[in-house]
């Protein structure tokens, strides 16, 4: 039992350190864009423009859900870098939440194994 206790403490401590890093990432206060951001090729509608015959103009599209309904907006060219950066932060938050869940699951497995190792067989 004494051999497993330091190992358990190290494993739990490693999980706590990673959890704190994830919490810092999730609570940093930077703005996020919830949804999906795509670059699409779009025609402008001007019949004399090159996009009438060739691929269109590159434009950023934001797709999101609001009040249970799917919506989309085209993002202004000047705002596209900020929207894309906020969307990347959102994706990072989602990855952090998935990892947070996995850490919690791993921690429970370690604790259950420790409890199982400490069980007493009564005859």
Express each pLDDT in 56-99 by its tens digit: 888 999 999 999 999 999 999 999 999 999 999 999 999 999 99
Range of the domain at 30: 4-117
Measured N-to-C along each axis, helices 80-117 and 4-26 cross at an angle, to the nearest 10 degrees, of: 160
Q: Which two tokens stand for residue 46?
A: 């001007």
Tell me whether residue 122 is in a domain: no
Domains held by the chain: number = 1
Q: How confident is the model at residue 25 (pLDDT cuts 50, 70, 90)?
A: confident
């Amino acid at each position: 039992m004494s051999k497993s206790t330091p190992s358990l403490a190290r494993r739990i401590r490693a999980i706590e350190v990673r959890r704190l890093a994830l919490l810092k990432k999730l609570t940093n206060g930077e703005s996020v864009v919830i949804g999906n951001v795509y670059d699409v090729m779009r025609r402008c509608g001007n019949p004399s423009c090159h996009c009438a015959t060739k691929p269109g103009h590159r434009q950023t599209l934001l797709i999101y859900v609001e009040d249970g309904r799917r919506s989309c907006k085209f993002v202004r060219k000047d705002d596209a870098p900020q929207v894309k950066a906020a969307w990347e932060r959102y994706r990072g938050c989602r990855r952090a939440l998935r990892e947070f869940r996995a850490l919690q699951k791993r921690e429970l497995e370690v604790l259950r194994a420790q409890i199982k190792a400490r069980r007493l067989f009564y005859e």
